[in-house]
Amino acid sequence: MIKIFLAGIMQGSHPGPDMHGQGYRARLRDCLQNELPEANIYDPWANHQSSLEYDDEKARDVFLNHNAMCADVDVVVAHVPEASMGTAIEIWEAYRHQRFVITITPLVHNWAIRYCSNWLLADLTSFQVACQSGELRRRLESGGVL
């Protein structure tokens, strides 16, 4: 069974305890479930929606555990509409453990994204089209994931 980690912007560059909208996660999950019904998809937001209220010990444990998970899954799908330090670390962990990284972002000139991703897509619509057309499955097959 293929294991997929849904990475993506949460706090981003907000200086305060604010969260970016997380609606993109349902779109990603729906696409992946339709195209890869055999996949085990982990969404960190699903179990940690109140994470901004965690004490330091719990927050650190969750953060480090999620980073470690990116080294163990088969695929990381990262949504990065703007800079996200946490997502960059998740991408890095997946990359350095030779996992397949799909990054959905307009930041195609950012070196961390560009050189640590196997596949770049411009936006969520492009990802949905890739799922529906079978391109996602073809890329994962040619990348040795499936």
* Domain residue limits, the chain: 26-142
The two tokens of residue 134 are 């079978």
Q: In terms of C-beta distances under 8 Å and separation of at least 24 residues, what long-range contacts does 24-31 make, across chains too? A: 24/79, 24/124, 25/79, 27/124, 27/127, 27/128, 28/77, 28/79, 28/104, 28/124, 28/127, 31/127, 31/128, 31/131, 31/132, 31/136
Q: What is the pLDDT along the chain (146 residues), one digit of tens a residue?
A: 999 999 998 777 778 777 677 889 999 999 999 999 999 999 998 986 666 678 889 989 999 999 999 999 999 999 999 999 999 999 999 999 999 999 999 999 999 999 999 999 999 999 999 999 999 999 999 999 99
Q: What is the pTM for the complete model shown?
A: 0.93
Give the phi and the psi of residue 100 in degrees, each rounded to 5: -85, 125
Which 8-state DSSP code applies to residue 51?
A: G
